[in-house]
């Protein structure tokens, strides 16, 4: 099976190059990997001490960041290397100050894994959540490098737990310890012989809790809100926007902020044209009296987390399509009640928060409008839901301390 895996990995390379001709995202995926080894050779010297963090995409990076910061504080003279598999992570965080070197992870072939490890020679390795690359993990094991999985998430359908997944199970042996989010993951790993497992929880709770301590002030948002009840529609997709645009058009005495997932001009124009309320774009706000507007469309990325601090209620997108639910923990950390779509079952934090009552799952336009109306106009209902959301985040903190204590013991 491992031979077949390696064969398919080699075959994938030219196929990806062809796909890049037709997909902007795939073009970034392919072109971004062309200079990885050159960048590593330029930025890492043979005598440098390094720590390597690997994240699939942006969400996993955010999970790993609080551990990364603790490791940096503990080893200030080590260079932090961050690798991404996906362009959606790399393109957003390629200039992060948390790391010394940020690159794409080269495809998982034996030769590339060896070359990568030769150039980076890490003393510590952290993989985040669920990306497992057998050739890289085998290189880590061969070199006897200390390695950890953090915020791990395992499901019964994964290859590790199938009869044909032996080489994947062997790759997991590279980890000195596996920190998982839930007891169910620990039990699955124990069933295949792994005892070096700790249920630490999800580091994202620690990460989002940290945003409460930073400066979240945005004067232009304060001017726009003008003391009124505010609903933020974060990371919205077209399917979700179709569900809430009529509520926006019919709302009264409410300020509405939309931060779409897609900020291309065509989509922003279409969204703006569907709204009958007085609307302003972030990129066109200069010189305008923002308090005079009802709807603020944020057509840039990078400030949604701070905007949530001004929300009285929030809708978080992704739950009406197949792309995946976006981050509900950021608004929850601020004690903001949340509305999401029906496709959230693969997100344990969403399932749990819905069960607790701090998050409302809606399946259609009618339910969306009902939930928005309750949160917009019923102060008691909104306050109760928000308190549950904030408490939920606070009671799940502590994963980072558990991980660091185990590592440093």
Among all chains, which residue has been given the structure tokens 């197949």? Answer: 322
CB 293 within 8 A of CB 319: no
Supply the DSSP string of 182-237, one letter for each residue.
Answer: SHHHHHHHHHTT---EEE---HHHHHHHHGGGS----HHHHHHHTTSEEEEEEEE-
Q: Provide the 3-class DSSP secondary structure of residue 284.
A: helix
Among left, alpha and beta (phi > 0; psi -120 to 50; other), residue 188 is alpha
DSSP secondary structure letters along 156-192: TTSGGGSTT-HHHHHHHTT-SEEEESSHHHHHHHHHT
Of 283, 231, 240, 236, which Cα lies nearest the Cα of 260? 236
Residue whose token pair is 């969400």 = 59
Cα separation, 192 vs 342, in Å, equals 33
Report H helices in 312-364: 329-333, 348-356
146 part of the active site: no
How far apart, in whole angstroms, are the C-alpha atoms of residue 325 and residue 123? Answer: 35
Helix (H), strand (E) at residue 253: none
Three-state SS sequence of 60-85: HHHHHHHHHHHHHHHCCCCEEEEEEC
| Selected catalytic residue, list 60, 62, 131, 349 | 60
The whole-angstrom separation of Cα 227 and Cα 255 is 9
Active site (catalytic) residues:
60
């Amino acid at each position: 099976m491992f031979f077949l895996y390696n064969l398919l990995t080699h075959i994938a390379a030219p196929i990806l190059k062809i796909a890049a001709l037709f997909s902007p995202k795939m073009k970034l995926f392919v072109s971004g990997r062309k200079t990885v080894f050159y960048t590593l050779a330029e930025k890492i010297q043979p005598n440098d001490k390094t720590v390597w963090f690997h994240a699939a995409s942006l969400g996993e990076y955010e999970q790993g960041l609080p551990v990364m910061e603790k490791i940096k504080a503990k080893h200030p003279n080590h260079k932090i290397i961050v690798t991404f598999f996906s362009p959606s992570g790399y393109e957003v965080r390629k200039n992060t100050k948390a790391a010394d070197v940020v690159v794409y992870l080269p495809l998982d072939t034996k030769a590339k894994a060896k070359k990568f490890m030769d150039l980076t020679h890490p003393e510590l390795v952290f993989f985040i959540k669920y990306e497992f690359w057998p050739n890289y993990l085998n290189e880590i094991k061969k070199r006897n490098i200390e390695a950890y999985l953090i915020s791990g998430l395992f499901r019964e359908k994964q290859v590790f737990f199938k009869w044909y997944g032996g080489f994947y199970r062997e790759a997991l042996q590279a980890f000195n310890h596996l920190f998982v989010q839930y007891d169910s993951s620990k039990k699955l790993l124990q069933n295949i012989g792994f005892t070096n497992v700790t249920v630490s929880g999800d580091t994202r709770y620690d990460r989002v809790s940290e945003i409460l301590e930073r400066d979240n002030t945005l004067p232009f948002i304060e001017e726009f809100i003008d003391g009124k009840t505010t609903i933020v529609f974060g990371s919205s997709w077209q399917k979700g926007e179709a569900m809430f645009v009529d509520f926006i058009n019919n709302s009264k005495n409410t300020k509405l902020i939309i931060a779409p997932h897609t900020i291309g001009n065509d989509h922003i124009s279409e969204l703006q044209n569907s709204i009958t309320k007085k609307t302003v774009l972030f990129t066109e706000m200069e010189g305008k009296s923002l308090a005079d507007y009802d709807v603020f469309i944020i057509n840039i990325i990078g400030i949604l987390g701070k905007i949530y601090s001004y929300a009285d209620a929030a809708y978080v997108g992704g739950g009406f399509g197949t792309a995946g639910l976006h981050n509900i923990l950021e608004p929850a950390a601020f004690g903001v009640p949340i509305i999401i779509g029906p496709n959230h079952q693969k997100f344990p934090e969403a399932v749990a928060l819905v069960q607790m009552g701090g998050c409302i799952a809606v399946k259609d336009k009618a339910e969306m409008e009902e939930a928005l109306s309750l949160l917009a106009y019923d102060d008691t209902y909104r306050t109760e839901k928000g308190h549950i959301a904030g408490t939920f985040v606070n009671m799940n903190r502590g994963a980072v301390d558990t991980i660091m204590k185990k590592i440093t013991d």
